[in-house]
Amino acid sequence: MTSRAERIAALKQAAKERILILDGSWGVMIQKKGLDEADYRGQRFKDHPVQLKGDNDILCLTRPDIIAELHDAYYAAGADISETNTFSATSIGQGEYEAQGAVRDINFEGAKIAREVADRWTAKEPHKPRFVAGSIGPLPVMLSMSSDVNDPGARKVTFDQVYDAYKEQVKALHEGGVDLFLVETITDTLNCKAAIKAIMDLEDEGYEPLPIWISGTITDRSGRTLSGQTVEAFWNSIKHAKPFAVGLNCALGAELMRPHIAELSRIADTLVSAYPNAGLPNAMGEYDETPDQTGHALHDWAKDGIVNILGGCCGTTPDHIRHVADEVKGVKPRPVPERPTALRLAGLEPFELAS
């Protein structure tokens, strides 16, 4: 495949034929490398005024070899799609490390690294093309909730500031060569709407439109996002983007996430994705669910016809992804339902008025 249009067509065709596999956790794999401050600084940031250790996104610039190695490991494990290492690569996210000036380069180089590895795998295994999702993570600030318990209207940022931060990120990801955008780990739907608008507005500037994949986060057993929405209300809020896929990731393991994925599968007239954590964290903040356990749990989801894309979030490794890929091989993807036309709105709860 020589053009992005051909890759997007191949992605959509593959989604009709099989359950697609996303990669797993990046944080846990980077942590295993035992990197020190010098790895994060490299030459470019050797005199940076604040500590950079922990800013995993900046490794796209200072240790691109490690980032390429991790993409390679996930593709080798059976992933069809790997995410760019750009989860917090916005001016707002990088502001915590005083690295706002590196945002464009992080995203562009992150996409470029992933693109090169994906193309190498596709050339080696043309029957199983590999794709790159531009990772667009949450922000440390929220538009839907007050930043001051004594002032319900207080916000640390405006919608325009959030939009501008995402716009800078998505432009660089697009220019770096991603096949689709993945707006993920969404805790605040209004932040997500700013990201969606930033992506959709790229077309007005002459950028080729790319598929949008949206993945929310149910924060606890309440079945709601951090900004208070139910799964159906969340879907009603973002369905105008006509996403390639919608799903849930993070916060929960497979057991607790399943009922919410089943609900999304019922109401979403697009592909449904899920990439849960490797169970819940233990007292040490580590994840104990084995690759075999994760694989078996997600096999049941696939067998029951409620998913189209599966992968892993916190605590998962290439071995987890290998087990998931093996467990769902040959299982048919969920058929996308046709829903009757209706007026569907949302606040914290969904509202539907049949036509």
pLDDT at 345 over 70: yes
pLDDT at 140 over 80: yes
Task: Provide the pLDDT confidence category of residue 235 given band limits of 50, 70 and 90.
Answer: very high
Residue in the block written with tokens 């009603």? 236
Closest CA to 303 of 341, 258, 269: 258
Q: Cα(342)–Cα(350) distance, rounded to whole angstroms?
A: 12
Residue pair 96/36 in contact (Cβ under 8 Å)? The answer is no
pLDDT at 239 over 90: yes
Q: Is 250 annotated as a binding residue?
A: yes
Residue pair 290/256 in contact (Cβ under 8 Å)? The answer is no
pLDDT one-digit tens code per residue, 23-32: 999 999 999 9
Closest CA to 30 of 69, 83, 75: 69
For 99, the 3-state DSSP assignment is coil
Q: Cα(139)–Cα(175) distance, rounded to whole angstroms?
A: 22
> CB-based burial of residue 111 (10 Å sphere; 0-12 exposed, 13-18 middle, 19+ buried)?
buried
Angstrom CA distances, 178 to 27, 136, 157, 159, stand at: 21, 12, 28, 25
pLDDT at 152 over 90: no
Token pair belonging to 249: 């990731």
User: Whole-model pTM above 0.95?
Assistant: yes
Strands 20-21 and 309-310 come out as parallel
The pLDDT of residue 166 is 98
The pLDDT of residue 222 is 84
Phi then psi dihedrals of residue 183, to 5 deg: -90, 110
The pLDDT of residue 125 is 97
Residue in the block written with tokens 């929405």? 229
How many domains does the chain divide into?
Answer: 1
Q: Cα(82)–Cα(72) distance, rounded to whole angstroms?
A: 9
What is the secondary structure of 48-81 as a DSSP string? -SS--TT-GGGHHHH-HHHHHHHHHHHHHTT-SE
The pLDDT of residue 259 is 96
Average pLDDT over residues 201-220: 96
pLDDT at 13 over 90: yes
The pLDDT of residue 219 is 87
Closest CA to 294 of 268, 313, 267, 273: 313
Q: Cα(109)–Cα(115) distance, rounded to whole angstroms?
A: 10
H or E stretch including 110? Answer: helix 103-124
The pLDDT of residue 82 is 98
pLDDT one-digit tens code per residue, 27-60: 999 999 999 999 999 999 999 999 999 999 999 9
Q: In what order do the strands lie in the sheet with 81-83?
A: 20-21, 309-310, 271-277, 245-253, 212-216, 180-186, 131-136, 81-83
Average pLDDT over residues 284-305: 94
Q: Is 192 annotated as a binding residue?
A: no
For all residues of the chain together, what is the average pLDDT?
96
332 lies in which domain range?
4-354
Task: Provide the pLDDT confidence category of residue 281 given band limits of 50, 70 and 90.
Answer: confident
- Count the Cβ atoms, other than its own, within 10 Å of residue 243: 23
- Count the Cβ atoms, other than its own, within 10 Å of residue 268: 23
The pLDDT of residue 1 is 57
Q: For the chain, what percentages of helix, strand and coil (3-state, to nearest 5) are there?
A: 45, 15, 40
Task: Provide the pLDDT confidence category of residue 221 given band limits of 50, 70 and 90.
Answer: confident
The pLDDT of residue 194 is 98
Q: Cα(56)–Cα(40) distance, rounded to whole angstroms?
A: 8
Exposure on the CB side of residue 229, measured as CA atoms within 13 A: 24
The pLDDT of residue 94 is 98
Task: Provide the pLDDT confidence category of residue 264 given band limits of 50, 70 and 90.
Answer: very high
Task: Select the more confidently predicted residue: 149 or 163.
Answer: 163
Average pLDDT over residues 221-244: 94
pLDDT one-digit tens code per residue, 99-130: 999 999 999 999 999 999 999 999 999 999 99
CATH number of the domain within which 219 lies: 3.20.20.330
Angstrom CA distances, 80 to 20, 23, 129, 143, stand at: 6, 8, 7, 34
Strands 350-354 and 342-346 come out as antiparallel
pLDDT one-digit tens code per residue, 63-108: 999 999 999 999 999 999 999 999 999 999 999 999 999 999 999 9
Q: Is 313 annotated as a binding residue?
A: yes
